[in-house]
Amino acid sequence: MAFQRPPGTQDILPGSAAIWQRVEEAARNLCRRFNYREIRTPIFEMTELFRRGVGETTDIVEKEMYTFEDRGGRSVTLRPEGTAGVVRAYVENKLYGEPDPAKLYYIGPMFRYERAQAGRYRQFHQFGVEAIGSVDPALDAEVIALGAMFYREIGLSGVRVEINSVGTPAVRAAFRGRLLEFLEPLKDQLCEDCRKRMERNPLRVLDCKVDQDKFGGAPSILDSLDEECRTHFEKVQQFLTAMDIPFAINHRLVRGLDYYTHTAFEYKAEGIGAIDTIGGGGRYNGLVREIGGPDQPGVGLGIGLERTVLLLEQQQEAAGETIDVYLIGLGEAAERETVRLLHALRQAGLKAERDYAGRKMKAQLKAADRLNARFAAILGDDELARGEITLKEMASGDQRFVKLDELAAAIREQG
């Protein structure tokens, strides 16, 4: 029996690797301009880090972690998200010694044992940023803007930004009471998950997909914010407006991780079945201390790259990969010249390909078509004797002779 990949994993094949590379390049380029520097942390960490960091009552820690004992008897876990590891590295390497906030980014695989479906995998990739060491709401707004700009620069349209404030732990404790008062009479109508969440983590109830329409009259956490939380949230909104980043306030937005304080936000888009969240993040002022570091605040985001690429592929279906020129040599002398010429075209920076199967000219032209070649360049012995080559534009079918040593320039000119 042939082997199959484990459920929930994906092979990223050359056909979509190009789009992955473009997306990752856009992320790096953006981070350079925002002055976020790359950090690479281990793909597994000690299990305790995630229990403490992500939170005991979260779905992630309760039922989604890939946890195992290594040969030394330690409990380790494949990282389900990037923030806990980055914060651990920040503390361990004392990056807080620097006067300015540490502005870090990462791109890499994450692991969650979830029910696999379109847009939901057990190994997936995130592009994330973390800015640690400042409470300035300008940093919240910067991170939200960075994510919005990422989607814009890769050419993904229809992405909405939703923001909320989840306050401080004290604010949440007060709100929990008000929320439970509202939920209690509904209890019998709620799904099993919600009933469980009411006991352990009532704010998460608001996030339930099944019972969503029952919460129209739920109290808003925004009404429970204290003065400091309200001012912070207002500033974030002012700064987003100053940067012309459209956003909507969603007072029911609660994230699936426990470390958030103040700002929480999500990027949403239609197109992947029931899933509409494609990225999210927020501020986490207690996390660094929670995992044993100094009392340093932070804010960050995580963007799911599978979901991003899926939507991009949908939106840009027509705009497939192309090559600049497909080189066809006919005859023995031309064959040798083709090898030299192909190499020269590539050295000149063009994306060039040839036939390696000894096919006839017609089949080679078909191959050029399949590869979305902009041009075919055809070299026969006669043309070679004159130092020329036939350049055929694939879309129009127009063809003309060009001098061999002007081929690269001719292709470029018409590009």
> Which residues contribute to the site for ligand HAM (CB under 6 A)?
81-83, 112, 114, 120-121, 124, 126, 128, 130, 255-257, 277-282, 300-302, 304, 306-307
**Nearer of residues 26 and 190 to ligand HAM, judged by Cβ:** 26
Nearest-approach distance from CB 122 to ligand HAM, in angstroms: 7
Nearest-approach distance from CB 269 to ligand HAM, in angstroms: 10
Which residues, in sequence order, are CB contacts of 370 under 8 Å at separation 6+? none
**Nearer of residues 307 and 354 to ligand HAM, judged by Cβ:** 307
Nearest residue to ligand HAM, scored by beta-carbon proximity: 304
- The reply to whether 69 sits in an annotated binding site is no
**Nearer of residues 81 and 355 to ligand HAM, judged by Cβ:** 81
Nearest-approach distance from CB 29 to ligand HAM, in angstroms: 20
**Nearer of residues 140 and 324 to ligand HAM, judged by Cβ:** 140
On the 0-12 / 13-18 / 19+ scale of CB atoms within 10 A, 182 is middle
Two tokens, residue 406: 């002007």
**Nearer of residues 30 and 301 to ligand HAM, judged by Cβ:** 301
State the pairing for strand pair 102-111/37-38.
Answer: parallel
Nearest-approach distance from CB 379 to ligand HAM, in angstroms: 48
**Nearer of residues 55 and 304 to ligand HAM, judged by Cβ:** 304
Q: Hunting for tokens 């996030």 — which residue is that?
A: 207
Nearest-approach distance from CB 79 to ligand HAM, in angstroms: 10
- The reply to whether 112 sits in an annotated binding site is yes
- The reply to whether 130 sits in an annotated binding site is yes
Count other Cβ atoms within 10 Å, centred on residue 222. 16
- The reply to whether 259 sits in an annotated binding site is yes
**Nearer of residues 285 and 364 to ligand HAM, judged by Cβ:** 285
Q: What is the dihedral of CA 184, 186, 191, 192, to 10 degrees?
A: 30
- The reply to whether 238 sits in an annotated binding site is no
- The reply to whether 308 sits in an annotated binding site is no
State the pairing for strand pair 275-283/261-272.
Answer: antiparallel
H helices present in 35-101, as ranges: 47-54, 59, 83-92
Q: Hunting for tokens 């709620």 — which residue is that?
A: 190
Residue pair 331/380 in contact by the 8 Å Cβ criterion: yes
Nearest-approach distance from CB 396 to ligand HAM, in angstroms: 42
Q: Which amino acid is at 285?
A: N
- The reply to whether 347 sits in an annotated binding site is no
d(CA 211, CA 24): 37
Residue pair 165/222 in contact by the 8 Å Cβ criterion: yes
Which residues, in sequence order, are CB contacts of 69 under 8 Å at separation 6+? 75, 76
What H or E segment, with its residue span, contains residue 78?
A: strand 75-78
- The reply to whether 415 sits in an annotated binding site is no
d(CA 2, CA 270): 36
Nearest-approach distance from CB 103 to ligand HAM, in angstroms: 12
C-alpha dist (Å) from residue 35 to 27, 30, 177: 12, 9, 42
- The reply to whether 260 sits in an annotated binding site is yes
Binding residue numbers for L-histidine: 81-83, 112, 126, 130, 255, 259-260
Binding residue numbers: 81-83, 112, 126, 130, 255, 259-260
